């Protein structure tokens, strides 16, 4: 691995930002962190627990798709897409990096979503080993190693140094641009991980298991009599879906600008009563059905269609943000124990 002193982090960011747009997680005044475009002197958050995930960079909350110009019977369709700029997302946690592979399975499968693909092609993901997990974290339940994240390059940071190593060609290219700032290090990934691994075994949700769930449990869990009790407290606010790094639902709307029509898409939530509402109505009329849909998709439907991979990465955001403290962990524990 290569290393640079913590005291010189801003030198690293300054050099990287000269080559392409750089985003880093920074602390917010109200707690937590958020990704911001790097400006000189900006300080990296040490917690890396961003309130919203890095999903926004590839699947933004709102996005213009096309415009229509109507002149009597003539309709002109205008493609308003532009080539995305090269950009770097620095400090992405292992759970959020894994979420990209889940989104890839949705948006890069035929038919490929060209908007999403464009951003993925231009984005460089620099991940960061997690040494300060929140008590709500449970990524290890889904086979994610928080100390060895995926990405184009991976960083590891202790009190003295930031270490970096490339995992892809994109990662190599990024490091080569700023290689003059680094020095060689004899410390290995294993040695670094050994200093922090015990932290994760002591987290409140360290023993959470997914063994009872998967694609072969459709009938067993869909027909469980526990959904009524579990969904009673849910107020259908959709907060869990909007902070989730793997939720992928969206709605498409047309807006009359006065001189044409602009078509755009925006995030949607399966927890809303008008989600997928069609001319004949909504296929899921009750809160119970909508609640069940969300968690069945994460724990059963998605793994059934994706070789056992779950649709959750254990980031813990839904635990931290739900106003009534109802989340996927409670659902898993209740269904598994009391089914």
pLDDT tens profile 173-202:
999 999 999 999 998 888 898 999 999 999
CA-based nearest residue to 276, from 267, 268, 286, 265:
268
DSSP string, 33-99: EEEEE--TTPPPPSS--BSS-GGGGTS-SEEEEEEEEEETTEEEEEE---PPPPEEEEEE-HHHHHH
Low-confidence spans in the chain with pLDDT less than 50 = 339
Residue 258 has, within 13 A of its CA and on its CB side, a CA count of 0
pLDDT at 282: 66
Domain ranges of the chain: 2-201, 218-338
d(CA 280, CA 220): 29
C-alpha dihedral sign at 328, 134, 268, 311: negative
Instruction: Check: CB of residue 157 under 8 Å from CB of residue 131.
Output: yes
Each residue's pLDDT tens digit, 257-282: 888 889 999 999 989 888 877 666 66
Residue 141 has, within 13 A of its CA and on its CB side, a CA count of 26
Residue 158 phi, psi dihedral angles, 5° rounding: -115, -160
pLDDT at 298: 96
Within 10 angstroms of residue 322's Cβ, the number of other Cβ atoms is 19
Strand 123-128 to 87-92 pairing: parallel
pLDDT at 74: 86
- Strands, sheet with 87-92, edge to edge from the N-terminal-most edge strand: 33-37, 21-27, 87-92, 123-128, 153-157, 161-166, 2-5, 183-184
Helix, strand or coil for residue 27? Answer: strand
This prediction's pTM: 0.91
CA-based nearest residue to 44, from 128, 136, 153:
128
Which residues are registered as beta bridge partners of 265?
A: 63, 252
Within 10 angstroms of residue 195's Cβ, the number of other Cβ atoms is 13
d(CA 200, CA 169): 31
pLDDT at 71: 81
């Amino acid at each position: 691995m290569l290393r640079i002193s913590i005291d010189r982090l801003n030198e690293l960011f300054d050099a990287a930002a000269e080559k392409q747009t750089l985003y880093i997680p920074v602390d917010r005044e109200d707690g937590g962190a958020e990704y911001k475009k790097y400006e000189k002197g900006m300080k990296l958050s040490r917690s890396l627990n961003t309130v919203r995930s890095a999903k926004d960079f590839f699947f933004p909350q709102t996005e213009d798709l096309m415009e229509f110009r109507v002149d009597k019977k003539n309709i002109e369709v205008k493609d308003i897409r532009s080539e995305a700029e090269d950009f770097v997302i620095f400090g992405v946690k292992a759970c959020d990096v894994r979420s990209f592979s889940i989104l890839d399975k949705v948006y890069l499968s035929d038919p490929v979503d060209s908007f999403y693909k464009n951003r993925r092609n231009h984005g460089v993901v620099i991940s960061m080993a997690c040494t300060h997990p929140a008590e709500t974290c449970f990524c290890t339940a889904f086979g994610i190693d928080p100390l060895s994240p995926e990405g184009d390059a991976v960083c590891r940071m202790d009190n003295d140094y930031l270490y970096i190593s490339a995992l892809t060609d994109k990662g190599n290219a990024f490091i080569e641009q700023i290689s003059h700032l680094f020095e060689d290090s004899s410390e290995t990934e294993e040695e670094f991980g050994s200093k922090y691994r015990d932290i994760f075994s002591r987290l409140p949700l360290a023993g959470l298991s997914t063994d009872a769930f998967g694609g072969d449990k459709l009938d067993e869990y869909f027909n469980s009599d526990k959904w009524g009790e579990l969904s009673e407290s849910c107020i259908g606010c959709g907060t869990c879906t909007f902070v989730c790094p793997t939720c992928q639902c969206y709605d498409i709307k047309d807006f009359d600008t006065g001189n044409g029509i602009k078509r755009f898409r925006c995030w949607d939530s399966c927890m809303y009563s008008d989600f997928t509402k069609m001319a004949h109505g909504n296929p899921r009329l009750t809160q119970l059905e909508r609640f069940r849909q969300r968690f069945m998709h994460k724990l059963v439907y998605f793994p059934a269609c994706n070789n056992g991979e779950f649709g959750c990465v254990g980031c813990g955001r839904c635990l931290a943000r739900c106003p009534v403290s109802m989340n996927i962990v409670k659902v898993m524990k209740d269904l598994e124990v009391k089914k």
